[in-house]
Amino acid sequence: MSLGRYLLRRLALAAITLLGVIIAVFIMTRILPGDPVSVKAGQFATPAIRAEIKKELGLDKPLPVQLVDYIGNVFRGNLGQSTRSGQPVLSDLAQRLPATIELALASVILGAGIGIPLGIVAALRHNTKVDVAIQQVTILGAAIPIFWFGLVLIFLFYHVWHIAPPPVGRLNTNVNPPHTITGLYTVDSLLTGDWQALGNALAHLVLPAFALGFVVMSPFIKITRSAMLGVMGSDYVLAARSLGLSDREIVWQDALKNTLVSILTVGGIVLGYLLAGNVLIETIFSWPGIGFYAWNALTGSDYDAIQGFVLAVAIIYVGLNLAIDVAYSLIDPRIRLG
Amino acid sequence: MATIQPDDTALGGLPAALPLDDTLAVRPIGARWAGPLRRVPGAGLVGFVALGFIVILAIIGPWVAPYNPILPDTNAITAAPSTAHWLGTDQYGRDVLSRILSAARLDVTVAISITLLALVAGALLGGGAGYIGGFVDDVVMRFVDVLLSFPAFILALGMTAMLGNTTRNVVIAVAVAYTPYFVRLVRSEMLSLRESEYAAAAKTVGNSKARIMLYHLLPNAMPPALVQATLTLGWGILDVAGLSFLGVGIKPPTAEWGVLISDGAQYINSGQWWISVFPGIAILIAVLGFNLTGDWVRDNVLKR
Amino acid sequence: MMDEATVATLPAPNQPKLEAPDVDANALVRVEDLTIAFPDERGERYLPIVQQVSFAVRRNEILGLVGESGSGKTQTSLAILGLTRPPGRVLGGRVLIEGRDLYAMKEEERRQIRGRKVAMIFQSPRTSLNPLTSVGDQLVRVYVRHRGLSKRAAREEALAMLRKVGIAGPERVIRAYPHQLSGGMAQRVMIGMMVGCGPELLIADEPTTGLDVTIQAQIFELIQSVQADTGMSVLLITHDLGVVAETCHRVAVMQSGRLVESAPVEELFAHPRHPYTIRLLAAMLRPDRPPVAASDRTAAPDELPIAANGLCYRAVSVDAWEAAKVGPPAMVAVAPDHLVLCHPADTDATEGGA
């Protein structure tokens, strides 16, 4: 099928899935054992006030109508209101998103930046001690609880060795954030030449990014190693060898390109790890992103915020997976040209 | 006319097999020598030992624990590891070792329950969808797609936040999050099995459709799902611990490894590291045990 | 992980080889006693895949290497380029390319030979090209490297070469990706890529697998015409005797890792000697002979030939075998340039003569 039609189909599927996601979240919100009316009304409200509140919350309407209302609200960007901040959930999330993006990007850069070369080395030296060691790292990364790892890092690097700054937030309290361009402190301070902020922001970023990056590293190593092994054993590498090309030339000219394309396929998995681990790591490091927000919402029974968070994450997940699919189909000429 | 069996020497020159020996006086040629592809040697053994250790702890833990895991002891608050308390005590004076042992049983049973639940649900849904096809299949697959649009942990998080965090709800929530993987695997096997001659034969003998699906085809559709099950055992422990750590999983004072870690989180910075570190090591050993054993089973038993 | 050790040839069979004198001494490529082995499943022992194979490819000839799948033909051809894929290893023997011992060289020297002196085309041409790079880019890269051309000159060369191998519309093919080519076109591209470097020997490993019969014929014609034009030699690996009859000058037959017979084409077809060759030929239906009865065509896998009086052989009974005190097999010349693998016998204990 042609590329255009393929992309349209993916888009349509994603849209339908998103609709399903919204419905799923709605179902989740309505299976509350608690009673949102009571929560809002308090203990001493009269039945009349309760009825008022019920109407205000839209809970007096039949369920299907509530669903349609909810969908409409979501499309208008109304994800409810946080009981803690008093702000619309959407703006709460939007305010905190840059911090999460910064952490996620740093983790991916670390995880891929270390994982991909390790995977290549493991493939080129496969079945040697180096390969075995790298595989052991992968095994460890897949078994380690990420929140515990973050705590251990804090203990070692902050408490014992005094290298890392206090694990609270993105900057020391006495350092001002740089002028906002992207919302990413590291990028912004770089762009504005605010070196003090840059140094401090990086210092705060290292530990959480490393904790998250270590877990994310495992799928990168695995896919790079197996893709590389597949490529090096392939027919076209054999043909290239038969032409007298050295292994080094083959790796740089052919193998890397083909391997890197395969790495895109784990993008979805990595994304899943990031979104999940994000909540845990942000909580531990008090990193003011959407994950920390979610944890606060959980402990504070801020139901609108919780639902809004889950919905937002799902939308991000679906959207980015779609983007990865599109990128892959654009890179691989077998799909692009049909 | 009798045929002659060429034995090793009759063919002359080389015996049929030479020992695989580095001292053979020949030069390796071309690319680097690479033996048969092996995983990390001994990984299976490590996995077995780790898993056995954890399972034994899970079974005998509460009886062997030196102290009561729930009763506080105001005389020994946040005591460092010593001969009295091998792994130290937490902020209520509870013995960390006893808490870990008590949690072992809970975590292991929870992980197994989650896996079983997801496996059974996935097998029935996937098998049914694959076998019946048509509208039912479409509905099930759309349902699965929606579930898969959430990262599993976030989905479980949302569900336990809404349902309330009892152990039962946690198990259900995580199982629901894992079920889609099993549904897909079983369904895909069922789709091809459905067309097989085996199925046709069963039908001609007069079995009802349900019987065919359940007793004849489903067992054959299971192997990839079983492979997946070896993975979800480890994931289950990690996810439940994570949820509990955040406060939406299993509630304190119940001893669960994630709860233990969260108990000790605030003390990490003041130097009382043992409250959080040891439970994490327990999780590590358990997940390693499940993962490595699962890998070994995958490579040696399930490869059909 | 292996230490470099000097080559030690394994014990040679204790019968002298009776080769056709002189012709092979200056052969382009000589394979002597080549033995290739792979470790068994558990990695404990080596199992020989190719055993003490010796033959030569002469200049300006097309030599066919025939055998069923599993006979070791492909492994032999890979070994000629030094490309035996691990975990397989060359355990013994030599490969002499224009007199130089391939396995005594350093890897860089071997790489000089690959592509320039000896080139290879494979069974599956479409997968022999990188799927993510355009055909033109790959051709250009090869020409730049091996002929030292600039990119632009290489591109011109590529277009010219594509025309020469019979591709119409080479501009389109240059921009295309491998998966967009048909099997026949891809093989032409491969031929153009390999031949464009001017090798002395082209190894063609079953180059028409999976192609239409008409396309097959075209490819073989192409190979023949290139060979005639450039005078390069071709080692044509195939299981199809019909192709051999039409294309090759000489033939070598392999069975179960051993070379069992080699001869000029007409001689082999007219006077096959080794039981395996005989059955192979019999399996071909030929219009000038009556079809061979099925019972005669089924091969007893364990029959071994004996040379009585040093020249002829026949499969014998177990008792006769034992009585004849046979030695290890060796190539025996039964006619000029016609070698057969036999077991030389001490006594004449066979049933009947040649």
* Contact call for residues A308 and A80 (beta carbons, < 8 A): yes
C108 touches chain B (CB under 8 A): no
Percent of chain C surpassing pLDDT 90: 14
What pLDDT does B155 receive? 92
Across the interface, of A240, A245, A333, the residue whose CB is closest to C132 is: A333
Q: What is the mean pLDDT of residues A55-82?
A: 77
Beta-carbon separation of C86 and B33 below 8 A: yes
DSSP state of A156: I
Surface of C (18-77) touching B: CB under 8 A: 35, 37, 39-48, 51-52
Percent of chain B surpassing pLDDT 90: 28
Q: What is the mean pLDDT of residues A173-186?
A: 79
Q: What is the mean pLDDT of residues C27-52?
A: 81
Q: What is the mean pLDDT of residues B291-301?
A: 82
Give the type of residue at B63.
W
B22 touches chain C (CB under 8 A): yes
Q: What is the mean pLDDT of residues B146-174?
A: 90
Beta-carbon separation of A152 and B280 below 8 A: yes
* Contact call for residues B100 and B87 (beta carbons, < 8 A): yes
Q: What is the mean pLDDT of residues C81-102?
A: 87
What pLDDT does C13 receive? 37
* Residues 6+ away with beta carbon under 8 Å from C147: C154, C157, C196, C197, C198
Any alpha helices (H) in C196-317, and if so which ranges?
Answer: 213-230, 241-247, 265-270, 275-283, 294-297
What pLDDT does C11 receive? 27
Beta-carbon separation of C43 and B35 below 8 A: yes
Across the interface, of B17, B22, B25, the residue whose CB is closest to C46 is: B17
What pLDDT does C121 receive? 92
Least confident of A280-284, B209-213, C129-133: B209-213
Across the interface, of B10, B13, B17, the residue whose CB is closest to C13 is: B13
pLDDT confidence band for A114 (50 / 70 / 90):
very high
Q: What is the largest CA-CA distance in chain C?
A: 72
Measure in Å the smallest separation between the Cα of B163 and chain A Cα atoms. Answer: 6
pLDDT confidence band for C323 (50 / 70 / 90):
low
Beta-carbon separation of B27 and C43 below 8 A: no
Does the pLDDT at position C312 exceed 80? no
**Token duo for residue A198:** 């840059």
Q: What is the mean pLDDT of residues A108-136?
A: 90
What pLDDT does A214 receive? 94
Q: How far apart are CA C57 and CA C287, in angstroms?
A: 31
Q: What is the mean pLDDT of residues C102-128?
A: 89
Least confident of A234-243, B56-65, C241-250: B56-65
Tell me: cis bond preceding B66? Omega within 30 of 0 counts: no
Question: C129: which chain A residues are within 8 Å (Cβ-Cβ)?
Answer: 236, 239
Per the prediction, chain C carries an average pLDDT of 78
Question: C85: which chain A residues are within 8 Å (Cβ-Cβ)?
Answer: 233, 238
What pLDDT does B219 receive? 84
Contacts across the B-C interface (CB distance below 8 Å) = 107
Which pTM was predicted?
A: 0.80
What pLDDT does C348 receive? 45
Torsion of CA C227, C230, C233, C237, to 10 degrees: -40
Q: What is the largest CA-CA distance in chain B?
A: 95
Question: C124: which chain A residues are within 8 Å (Cβ-Cβ)?
Answer: 235
Q: What is the mean pLDDT of residues A31-47?
A: 65
Which of A88 and C350 is assigned the larger pLDDT?
A88
pLDDT one-digit tens code per residue, C193-219: 888 888 999 999 999 888 888 888 889
Beta-carbon separation of C194 and A243 below 8 A: yes
Beta-carbon separation of A244 and C111 below 8 A: yes
Q: What is the mean pLDDT of residues C47-61?
A: 87
What pLDDT does B10 receive? 30
pLDDT one-digit tens code per residue, B84-102: 778 888 888 888 888 888 8
* Contact call for residues B99 and B69 (beta carbons, < 8 A): yes
* Residues 6+ away with beta carbon under 8 Å from A217: A110, A111, A112, A114, A115, A118, A137, A138, A141
Tell which of C102, C127, C128, C145 to mutate to test the A interface (max A CBs under 10 Å): C128
Tell which of B3, B20, B24, B26 to mutate to test the C interface (max C CBs under 10 Å): B26
Beta-carbon separation of C321 and B16 below 8 A: no
By three-state DSSP, how is residue C334 classified? strand
Per the prediction, chain A carries an average pLDDT of 85
Across the interface, of B43, B152, B246, the residue whose CB is closest to A283 is: B246
Residue whose pair of structure tokens reads 């097959």 in the numeric block: C216
Most confident of A156-170, B85-99, C113-127: C113-127
What pLDDT does C322 receive? 59
Most confident of A85-89, A234-238, B8-12, C35-39: A234-238
Question: A35: which chain B residues are within 8 Å (Cβ-Cβ)?
Answer: none
Complex ipTM value: 0.86
Q: What is the mean pLDDT of residues B253-257?
A: 88
What pLDDT does C274 receive? 79
Percent of chain B surpassing pLDDT 70: 85
Does the pLDDT at position A217 exceed 90? yes
Torsion of CA C311, C313, C317, C322, to 10 degrees: 30
Measure in Å the smallest separation between the Cα of C267 and chain A Cα atoms. Answer: 33
Question: C350: which chain B residues are within 8 Å (Cβ-Cβ)?
Answer: none
What pLDDT does B171 receive? 94
Question: A333: which chain C residues are within 8 Å (Cβ-Cβ)?
Answer: 131-132, 177, 179
Tell me: cis bond preceding C287? Omega within 30 of 0 counts: no
How many angstroms separate the Cα of B227 from the Cα of each of A53, B297, B304?
51, 8, 12
Q: What is the mean pLDDT of residues A104-126?
A: 91
Beta-carbon separation of A155 and B150 below 8 A: no
Nearest chain B residue to A296 by CA distance is: B246
Q: What is the mean pLDDT of residues A296-311?
A: 86
Which chains have at least 3 CB atom pairs separated by less than 8 Å from chain A?
A: B, C
Measure in Å the smallest separation between the Cα of A115 and chain C Cα atoms. Answer: 23
Q: How far apart are CA A181 and CA C64, in angstroms?
A: 71
Tally DSSP H helices, then E strands, for chain C. Answer: 12, 14
A48 touches chain B (CB under 8 A): no
Does the pLDDT at position A109 exceed 80? yes
Q: What is the mean pLDDT of residues C20-49?
A: 76
Which of B121 and B47 is assigned the larger pLDDT?
B121
Task: Give the up-direction half-sphere exposure of residue A207: CA atoms within 13 A in the CB hemisphere.
Answer: 32
Per the prediction, chain B carries an average pLDDT of 79
pLDDT one-digit tens code per residue, B198-239: 777 777 777 777 777 777 778 888 888 888 898 899 999 999
pLDDT confidence band for B18 (50 / 70 / 90):
very low
Contacts across the A-B interface (CB distance below 8 Å) = 154
Residue C186: name the closest of C241, C142, C127, C126 by CA. C126
Question: A246: which chain C residues are within 8 Å (Cβ-Cβ)?
Answer: 108, 111
Q: What is the mean pLDDT of residues C224-238?
A: 91
pLDDT confidence band for A84 (50 / 70 / 90):
confident
Does the pLDDT at position C351 exceed 80? no
